[in-house]
Amino acid sequence: MANILITGASDGLGRALASELAGAGHQLIVHGRDPGRLAGVAQETGAVAIRADLSSLDEVRGLAAQVADHAARLDVLVNNAGVGFGAPGAGRELSRDGYELRFAVNYLAPYLLTRLLLPALRRSGSARVVNVASAGQRPVDLDDLMMQREYDGVEAYRRSKLALIAHTFDLADELAGTGVTANCLHPASLMPTTMVRESRYGTIDSLEQGLHATLRLVTDPDLDGVTGRYFNGTQPARALDQAHDQAFRARLRERTEALLLARQSP
């Protein structure tokens, strides 16, 4: 029986994953932003529920602190919460810290949350970090991380997911030999979730396909010790070249740490 934290667990893929893992007897901590939906999934699964708005770095820090209070040891962290493309024609949105919203929620939040929870993950001895990414990736412009020059919601989403994948590879290298693995995946394409409906794109794959692929990274014993991989569904795949570029990753990490430091409470 594992201690598992799932972010974005009050809807869509995260909720389906919570239901499946609870049914298998795992101890869950579920995160969400909407208190009503979060209470519902907690009641269904018997999980500990923690509400936080991941567009606020202070609330990410608060989430990590509450998780640490509930579980000294964490066996799996699933960074699933995210912001999609947005409605067609929607303008540039900012996080509560003044950062571009998709970059903040889809990348900065899981980056910070994972770093804060590393002590609990290390205590497991064989923990897994699973980052829910996307096959829709675009190169990140390090000179315009906040997309102030030109903005498009789809482009912003895809850049944020590329950054998350690059971070996953970086994290895997950093944690080599510690027993903590880090992998990421594109679970399925345009599943029937709230964020896809909001974007008004048609659906392609089923929620069950995405659930199966994600559950595999969380529980499959064949993946013990496997780290630093990107999967498209259940198949190993190669991310966009920039995510594999160590020089780019070092610069991204430096910029990320500076952004986090700039919004750190005294």
Q: What is the residue-wise DSSP string for 86-122?
A: -STT----B-TTSSBHHHIIIIIHHHHHHHHHHHHHH
Is 22 in a helix, a strand, or coil? helix
User: Which residues are within 8 A (CB) of 176 and not within 5 positions of it... i.e. 6 or more apart?
Assistant: 227
Where is 211: in which H helix or E strand? helix 207-219
- Known catalytic membership, residue 157: yes
Which residue's structure tokens are 């804060």?
Answer: 116
- Alpha-carbon gap, residue 185 to 92, rounded angstroms: 26
Rounded distance between C-alpha atoms, residue 104 and residue 179, angstroms? 28
**Which residues make Cβ contacts (< 8 Å) with residue 255, sequence separation at least 6?**
142, 145
CA 75 to chain centre: 16
Q: How many CA atoms does the CB half-sphere of 55 hold within 13 Å?
A: 11
Name the strand (E) or helix (H) holding 43: helix 35-45
Of the candidates 99, 107, 157, 230, the residue annotated as catalytic is 157
Residues involved in catalysis? 157
